[in-house]
Structure 1
């Protein structure tokens, strides 16, 4: 991973559109601060916002784009169909509701938030996403928290005429939950992989390896972890409501972890810090 990466760097999606390699996450960001902190992120140079219907802040983060004085086309905006809206009809309505709340004509990416609702629910939601993409309501589509068995079910549906492409897979990923099997499955098919909780909710700051690498590079534990994600080819989505931390999370393009240090961060552990719907067997 060359140092030439910047906050403006992008990856190309299967849909042909570009996605910025670092996103700003707004999970559980309260509505009374969501607009202001998103404006701050945009002011610092972020051009990728990861929201969701379940976060209940689509209106505020979208309004922040206008407040920041940016054209809608310059910001990559994501939302997600919530678990409570799985199935064709509910997913269609969820997409319309999200467009209305965000007061936007389109999203850059809409994901199915989790693989709940059984096979019929998942495939119905995908059908709604494919229709929305064809109608220009979203530029790209994908999934979040799908296990390999859910992905294979969806791939079979797509190949049998269901249509669409899995452009993005979003998961909790960090050195203590690298998800190598899922990453390999998606990469083989050309999907971009987003990593939420890339800094493990600041729960690992006392790890000796992070202290060692932080001292070596003059960086915080969070910056080391975000850089790890970038060098793994992932698109990390760090979340913060603190302006200093929002800035800090973007200051990861002036150093590079060497091969040996990347190896030190390989733990082969499976320790989620959030929910883990990938194991859902429904």
Structure 2
């Protein structure tokens, strides 16, 4: 899936803001300081003349905003999500939102009206039908009567690997890293701001999983702390040694955002223009 002419990807929007080419930004339900490489997002948000954030929580990004607007929770709206596996999942409204709280689509139409543009009001089903007509992989998902029917199989979309991700061993990065999370940061917060204390009691902390042979070569055992270094940053994390991961491949589990995996990310997918959280070249140093 590629971007249409004239639009910018998330990374390109941040670059434009940091360079002063973009003055105003409106964020919906996204905490850029958690989901994009931190230094890039920090510089971009700080350079804006006006930042508006619409969200359920006062996230780190929202704290930088000039204006914060309330958003609907998933239980108060309908539509669909496409998860990381490519499956379309249906969301149906279970609760009526508080009086005066607008859906994002309604709010956008109001803003457009103030700017002299009249946008047609459309239902979630109508919007999804338009997506089907413009984005080929969604053609296999059929809206059913009274709502949506989620996809039984993942959407078939092709994403290219980041250019330059295959840094050779002679350049000092002999391992390939994958970064895995667990929950969306909206449910958690960061550090001392964590909103759900119960999850911290049952979810393991951050760790780096590696193959037994790699651990032996590095003289690393379970629980040892190591420094993971990419061309763009570094983190310190405990290790977990096992047989279920291939030699030469590492997996960083960020836990409840106990470590900043974004610090290791630099390359973007050349097609989707989003950061790559897989196939990151790294080296490991025992602490």
State the TM bucket, normalised to the shorter chain: under 0.3
Task: Give the TM-score taking structure 2 as reference length.
Answer: 0.26
Structure holding more strand per residue: 2
Q: Please give the TM-score of this superposition, normalised by the length of structure 1.
A: 0.27
| Higher-Rg member (1/2) | 2
Question: Of Structure 1 and Structure 2, which has the larger fraction of its residues in helix?
Answer: 1
